[in-house]
Structures are given as C-alpha cells and as structure tokens.
C-alpha cells in the first residue's frame, strides 16, 4: 500500500492471548490519513454504546499517521484512542518522541488491543513478529524503571510506551508515557491500558517506509523545515 502506510494492523486479544495480523483498509486510510481519525473509525466499529471505559469491552488503539516516520517535519507522533474513563465519551491523546516511527518500522501502522489480560503483560514487536510476555515483575514500577528494565531484559534497543502506578491503579486521568518523558496525557488512556493489565509496548524494526517520489518528498520536507526556521527568527 502506497502513501507511506505499511498496510498492516496488529490485532491483540488480551483475554485469549491471540495475536493476528490484518490488512489495513485502504479506503479508511485514504479517508482519515491514519492517526486519530483511523483509530476512531476502528473504535466505533469495534465497540457499542454504553460500555464501561474500564471494562473488557473497550478497545485501546495505538495508531500512526500517513507521514509518521517520514522526513516530513513534526511527523513523529502517534495517537491513542479508546472510550475515555475521564469523560465517558470518545477519548484521544497523542505523543511525539520516537515511539510512533518505531512502531511503524516494526511493521505495523497500528495496534488494536481487545479484552483484558488475567495477569500483567507487555507486548514485544520485533521486525513484524509480536508476542505477549509476562509483566508481573514490571507491575508497580515507575515509567523510567520499566523502560530501563525492558531495555536490559530484551537485550537490544527498543522503544517503549508504558504506564506507571497511576495507570495500573486506574487513575482516570493517567497518561501513557514513551521514551520516559513524552506523554500521551489526555483523556485517561493510561487508565484504559491499566484496566487491560497491559504494562508496556516495546518495539523495534527495520521496515522501510515507502514513498512514491522520495526526491520530491524530500524537497517539500526541506521547504517545511525552512518555513519552521523562519517562524522562530
């Protein structure tokens, strides 16, 4: 699939432990350009009115945009969407840093979590291969402690998004942190992650992000950066 989408979505059922890969719907991708819009389309398709935001019926969706991971300026962000425990309505947050590009390079435009695990787990994605691992030893750790532990435990550099004790204890405004200090901090997405007993996502990969016209794209991206430089003079 062109336009810098990888073309694959990872579906993770935390209740059963089942993980499967499905093709990204190209029409939805064109309509929404990925990110929060695409994640919201999945949210409304996969949930029903009246569900408990902290219940098993809610889904938690991490989604990149069409430009995530490309040379385009300010294109490193990813979005997280679920029904919000803070408002009781649609919830969306986003964050910068390296997690969005890392998830895309690991082989997926997005990850959809369904159900809830009976015990703490984390998701590891390496070059298109995904597995759930036990995370009881990580439960209770701060974000920095969890990130450091996963780096040493996995044995190769990974980019981590995780929750701390706030999310674990279902604090309704808890955020999700990546690269230790970057926050998807709105609408309580960390509490949804905690309700699913999902401590972290760690990912790494070398998936190439295809562009139809790399030279032309890079020229436009350079113009973007020049305009941004002008704005701070």
Give the residue extent of every domain in the chain: 8-231
Nearest to 111 by CA among 59, 148, 61, 163: 61
What topology does CATH give the domain 8-231? Aldehyde Ferredoxin Oxidoreductase;  A, domain 1 (3.60.9)
In this predicted structure, what is the pLDDT of residue 224?
63
Specify the pairing of strand 90-95 against strand 78-83: antiparallel
Over residues 62-74, the mean pLDDT reads 81
In this predicted structure, what is the pLDDT of residue 94?
97
Over residues 58-86, the mean pLDDT reads 89
Average pLDDT of the chain, as a whole number: 92
In this predicted structure, what is the pLDDT of residue 202?
98
**190 phi and psi angles, rounded to 5 deg:** -65, -35
In this predicted structure, what is the pLDDT of residue 95?
97
Over residues 101-112, the mean pLDDT reads 96
Find all residues with CB under 8 Å of 80, minimum gap 6, and list them: 39, 60, 61, 62, 63, 92, 93, 94, 95, 176, 184, 189
In this predicted structure, what is the pLDDT of residue 217?
63
pLDDT digits (tens, 9 = 90+) for 170-203: 999 999 999 999 999 999 999 999 999 999 999 9
Cβ distance 184 to 178 under 8 Å?
A: yes
Specify the pTM.
Answer: 0.92
In this predicted structure, what is the pLDDT of residue 209?
76
In this predicted structure, what is the pLDDT of residue 68?
85
pLDDT reading at 62 higher than 80: yes
Q: Which two tokens stand for residue 108?
A: 């997926």
Residue 206: HSE in the Cβ half-sphere, 13 Å Cα cutoff: 1
Cβ distance 106 to 125 under 8 Å?
A: yes
pLDDT reading at 75 higher than 90: no
pLDDT reading at 1 higher than 80: no
Which has more pLDDT, 67 or 21? 21
Q: Which segment, 3-12, 44-53, 215-224, is predicted with the most confidence on average?
A: 44-53
Instruction: Please say whether the dihedral angle defined by the alpha carbons of residues 136, 140, 146 and 148, taken in this order, is positive or negative.
Output: negative
**69 phi and psi angles, rounded to 5 deg:** 85, 0
Nearest to 118 by CA among 192, 14, 190, 13: 14
Over residues 130-142, the mean pLDDT reads 98
Using CA atoms, how far apart are residues 80 and 42, in angstroms rounded to an integer? 12
pLDDT reading at 144 higher than 80: yes
**Distance (Å) of CA 14 to CA 195, 206, 230:** 11, 26, 47
- Share above pLDDT 90 across residues of the chain, in percent, rounded to a whole number: 79
pLDDT reading at 214 higher than 80: no
Q: Which segment, 27-41, 66-80, 208-222, is predicted with the most confidence on average?
A: 27-41
């Amino acid at each position: 699939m062109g336009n810098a989408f990888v073309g694959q979505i990872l579906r993770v059922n935390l209740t059963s432990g089942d993980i499967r890969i499905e093709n990204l719907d190209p029409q939805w991708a064109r309509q929404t350009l990925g990110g929060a819009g695409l994640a919201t389309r999945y949210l409304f398709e996969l949930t029903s009115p009246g569900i408990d935001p902290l219940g098993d019926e809610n889904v938690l969706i991490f989604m990149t945009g069409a430009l995530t991971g490309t040379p385009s300026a300010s294109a490193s962000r990813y979005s997280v969407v679920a029904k919000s425990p803070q408002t009781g309505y649609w919830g969306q947050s986003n964050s910068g840093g390296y997690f969005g590009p890392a998830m895309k390079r690991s082989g997926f435009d997005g990850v959809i979590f369904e159900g809830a695990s009976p015990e703490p787990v984390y998701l590891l994605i390496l070059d298109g291969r995904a597995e759930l691992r036990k995370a009881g030893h990580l439960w209770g750790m701060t974000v920095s402690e969890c990130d450091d532990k996963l780096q040493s435990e996995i044995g190769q550099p990974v980019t981590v998004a995780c929750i701390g004790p706030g999310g674990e204890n279902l604090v309704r405004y808890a955020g999700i942190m990546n690269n230790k200090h970057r926050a998807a901090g709105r609408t309580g997405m960390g509490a949804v992650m905690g309700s699913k007993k999902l401590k972290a996502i760690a990912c790494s990969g070398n998936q190439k992000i295809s562009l139809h016209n790399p030279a032309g794209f890079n020229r436009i991206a350079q113009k973007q950066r020049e305009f941004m430089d002008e704005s701070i003079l």
